[in-house]
Amino acid sequence: MSILTSASSSSVSRGYDYYKHNKVHDVNQLNDYEFEGYVDGSLKNPYYVKINIEHPRKSYCDCPHANGNITCKHMTALYFELFPDEVDDYESWLNSYYDEEDEDEYYNYDSYYDEDDDYFDYRGNSNFEKPLFFDIVLEKYVDDLNIEQLREILLTELKINEKRTFELYLEKNYKKYLEKDNESFVFLDKLNKKVQDLTGYYNYDYNDFDKEILSVREKRKIEELYKNKILRPQIDKILFNEKLSVYSDYKWITCFYKNNKSCDEIKEYCKILENYLNSLKHYSIKNTVPKSNILITIYLLSDFTTEEIASSLLKNAKYLQYVDYIVESCNNVLELYSEFMKLINKNYLKNKIYIPDVLYRFVWITEHENKEINISYYLYSYICLGHIEYLEILSHDLSSQEVIKLIENKTKDIFLLIKLYKFYNKVDKLWNLLKDSNYRYLLLDNIDMLKDKYNDDLYDHFVNEFYNILNESKSREVYHKASKYIKAISKLNHGNNLVNNIIFDLKQSEYKKCSALFDEIDKSLKNEV
C-alpha cells in the first residue's frame, strides 16, 4: 500500500491540484521513510503534514479530515511534491482516462463519424426527404458548371470517403500515376509502405529494436529530397512517427531532424514522444531497450542543461541503455556527476536500487581512476543495496571512523546501521542505537555482540519484557510470546543460571500450577519455538 492507494480518488485529485498550485512548502526528510512539510489550505495557517511512505497509515495531518488514519488531500499533495515520477504517472493516467472517456461517451456518433472517416456516413439519407424535382434540378446544375467548378466539386466529394475512393478509382492505377509524375514519389511511397509495415497494428514489435529502418541509400535519398519544399511534408509524415523511436536505428532520423527542424517543431514532437513513452510504461515490457531508445531520441532532440540531464538520469535510472548513452556521450562527465550527486544527496530514495548502476557508469567512464567517484559508488551501493562487501571495499581507502561518519550522515535506516556497527565491532554505538524504545525488539538478534559489555542491562530488559507480557493474560499464546525472552536470557553470560532462577521464582508464584507456561518455556529452550 502507498500513500496514493490508501487515499480516496477525491483526496488524490485534490492533492494533485494543491501540488500544481504550489501549496506545498518547507519540505523536509526526517528519515528513510518519513517526510514532513506544510500545505496551504482553507485556513489562515498552513496544515502540518507528516507522511510515512513505508507505513502510510502512520502518516499525520492536523486538518480535521485526517482523523482516524484517513489519508487526506494534504498528505497526497506532499507526496506529489516529493515524488515527481508519481506526478508523471498520474498525469499520464488522467490523459489516457479522459481520452478514452471523451472518445466513447454516450456514443456520440456525430463526433465519432467524421467526414474524413473511412466509415460510411450514416447521416447521408437519414432525415432527408428528397424534393419532387431533385434529379432534374441536379442535372441542370451540373450542366451549368464549368470545368474548374466540376473539378473542385468532384475532388471534394471524392475526399469525403477516401478509403472508398481509393478502392474504386485509384488502387489499380496508383503506381502508374506516381511513375508518370515523378520517380521521387515512387521512392517515398515505397518508403512509406516500409514504415507502415514496420509500425502497423499486426507487425509492430517494440522488442525487435535492432530492425533496420533505413538503408544507407535511403538515407542519402531522403537528404536529397528534403531540399524540395514540396516533398518535405510527405517525408515528415513518414518519419515523424513516434512508434519508430523504439528502434536503435532511429538515431539517424533524430539527428537529421535536429538539423532540419525549428525549435518549436522539435518541442512539439518531444511532447508526442514523452506521451508515447508514458503509454509504454503501462505495458508489461521487461526489456528496457525500447524505452531507452525513446529517451535517447528525446535527449538528442533537446538542448538540456547539465542539471536537467542529471535529473533525467535519476528519474530514468532503470533504463541502463539510456544511462550508458548519456554518460558516454556527455561532454563534461565530472560536471554531470556533480549534478547527479546533488540530487541523490538530497533524496536517494528515488529509484534507489538503480543508483549504484548509474554511479558505476561514472566509475567506468573515468576508468576507475577518480577516487571520489569510486567511493561514492561503493558508499551508495551499501546504502541502497545493503551488501556488506561494499563496506569491505570502502575500508581499503577510508578509516572505519570515516566510513561510519559518511553512512551515518546519509541514512537513518536501522538495519543498515546495525550491519555497519557489527562490521566494525562498534558495541557502544550498537547498544545506543538499539536501547531506544522503538528498536529494543532488535536486541534479541544482537545478544552475542552486546552481552560481554551490557549483560546486566540486557538481562534487566529481557526479564521485564517477560513479566510484562505475562501480565497481559493467561493463555498459551501469551506464554508462547513471553518465552522467547527466556530463550534470550539463556544466551547471556551465565544464562542457564539466570533462567533457572526465573523458573524457580515462577514455581513459587501464582504460576506454579500453570503447566502451559512451563511447557512453552521448555520448548523455547529446546529451540522448538
pLDDT-wise least confident of 93-102, 412-421, 463-472? 93-102
Specify burial of residue 229 (Cβ count, 10 A radius: 0-12, 13-18, 19+): exposed
Residue 13 forms part of a structural domain: yes
Q: What cell was used for 164?
A: 472508398
Q: How far is CA 461 from the centre of its chain?
A: 44
- Half-sphere exposure (CA, 13 Å, Cβ side) for 327? 24
Say if CB 34 and CB 40 are below 8 A apart.
Answer: no
- The reply to whether 78 and 117 lie within a common domain is no
Residue 155 forms part of a structural domain: yes
- The reply to whether 519 and 444 lie within a common domain is yes
Residue 129 forms part of a structural domain: no
248-291: per-residue pLDDT in tens?
Answer: 989 999 999 999 999 999 999 999 999 888 888 776 667 889 99
What pLDDT, on the 0 to 100 scale, is given for residue 68?
Answer: 56
Mark 472-506 as b/e (b = at least 16 C-beta within 10 Å): eeeeeebbbbbbbbbbbbbebeebeebbeebeeeb
- The reply to whether 144 and 78 lie within a common domain is no
78: containing domain: 3-83
Which region holds residue 161: left if phi is over 0, alpha if psi is between -120 and 50, else beta? beta
- Distance CA(43)–CA(25), nearest Å, equals 16
- The reply to whether 56 and 9 lie within a common domain is yes
Residue 500 forms part of a structural domain: yes
Confidence of residue 450 (pLDDT cuts 50, 70, 90): very high
Nearest to 41 by CA among 70, 72, 67: 72
- The reply to whether 521 and 447 lie within a common domain is yes
345 has a pLDDT exceeding 90? no
- Distance CA(512)–CA(210), nearest Å, equals 77
- The reply to whether 7 and 73 lie within a common domain is yes
- The reply to whether 54 and 15 lie within a common domain is yes
88-119: per-residue pLDDT in tens?
Answer: 888 877 776 544 444 443 333 333 333 333 33
220 has a pLDDT exceeding 80? yes
Residue 77 forms part of a structural domain: yes
- The reply to whether 59 and 117 lie within a common domain is no
- DSSP-based three-state secondary structure for 61: strand
pLDDT average, residue stretch 18-45 = 86
Sequence letter at residue 471: N
Residue 177 forms part of a structural domain: yes
Greatest mean pLDDT among 23-37, 64-78, 404-418 = 404-418
- The reply to whether 117 and 78 lie within a common domain is no
Specify burial of residue 23 (Cβ count, 10 A radius: 0-12, 13-18, 19+): buried
What pLDDT, on the 0 to 100 scale, is given for residue 481?
Answer: 92
- The reply to whether 454 and 503 lie within a common domain is yes
Specify burial of residue 126 (Cβ count, 10 A radius: 0-12, 13-18, 19+): exposed
348-392: per-residue pLDDT in tens?
Answer: 677 788 999 999 999 999 999 999 999 999 999 999 999 999 999
pTM: 0.64
Task: List Cβ neighbours of 249 (8 Å cut-off, separation of 6 or more).
Answer: 210, 211, 212, 213, 214
pLDDT average, residue stretch 400-419 = 93
- The reply to whether 507 and 448 lie within a common domain is yes
Residue 222 forms part of a structural domain: no
Q: How many domains does the chain have?
A: 3
Say what percent of the chain tops pLDDT 70: 91
